[in-house]
Amino acid sequence: MRPFAKTPQKPRLLQFPAQSPYSATSFSTSTRLRRLRTDPVSLITQSTTKPSGTTGALLTRIRLIAKFDPVERDHRNRALGKAGEEFVLELERRQLADMGCPDLSRRVRWVADEDGDGAGYDVLSYARSGRERLLEVKTTNGTACTPFFLTRNEADLAIERPEEWRIYRVHMFAKSPRVFTIAPPLDTTIHLRAEMWRASF
């Protein structure tokens, strides 16, 4: 079973870089990550105004492109997912260091990269008190409203450890990355629908 989720209408925004250190083709390097600046940001308001001079051929091309499923694209793009996870990893380390918690900052781990994808979360971070924070990172180059896939393992962990587990939704990643969080219980903020079933005999 592979459910997907829609993002909430009023997400909780985090401190995040004002400008992206990434390009559309190269998502992550240690040098660029070290240049992150954390400033308050707000979600981008999407314009529905037709650009002046837009031709019929261009509009037809836009409609054809829209037929591609951005949810499936993001799900299959492992490079994008890993870049988003690394981005959140460095963001968490930076925030803990800025809060005067260098020991906790050094303990933040990229679990999905070091141990594999079966943990139900991607990044192990910490609150200032030392309490664990289990961060499942969902990354897209689309807007905040782009749906995303959630595995059964991730959904189960959200139920088992609701105080520690969070979705970190990274969007507009290639242009101007922004993040909001989703906390359990998930069914109060997002809609889950089964997209695939496991068949057995």
Strand spans (E) along 127-177: 132-139, 148-149, 165-171
Asked if the model's pLDDT at residue 92 lies above 80, the reply is yes
Q: What confidence tens digit (pLDDT) does each residue in 114-157 have? A: 998 889 999 999 999 999 999 999 999 999 999 999 999 999 99
β-bridge mates for residue 192, sequence order: 5
d(CA 104, CA 102): 5
The β-bridge relationship of strands 15-17 and 178-182 is: unpaired
* Percent over 70 (pLDDT), the chain: 62
**What is the chain's mean pLDDT, rounded?**
75
Share of the chain above pLDDT 90, in %: 56
Tokens read off for 38: 């954390």
Confidence of residue 50 (pLDDT cuts 50, 70, 90): very low
Q: What is the pLDDT of residues 154-201, one digit of tens each?
A: 999 999 999 999 999 999 999 999 999 999 999 999 999 888 888 999
The confidence score (pLDDT) of residue 197 equals 85
Half-sphere exposure of 170 (CA within 13 A, CB side): 28
Q: Determine the pLDDT at residue 54.
A: 42
Question: H or E element: which one contains 38?
Answer: strand 38-40
In this predicted model, which residue has the larger pLDDT, 3 or 129?
129
Query: pLDDT higher for 146 or 20?
Result: 146
| Contact by Cβ (8 Å): 170, 16 | no
pLDDT of residue 74 exceeding 50, the answer is yes
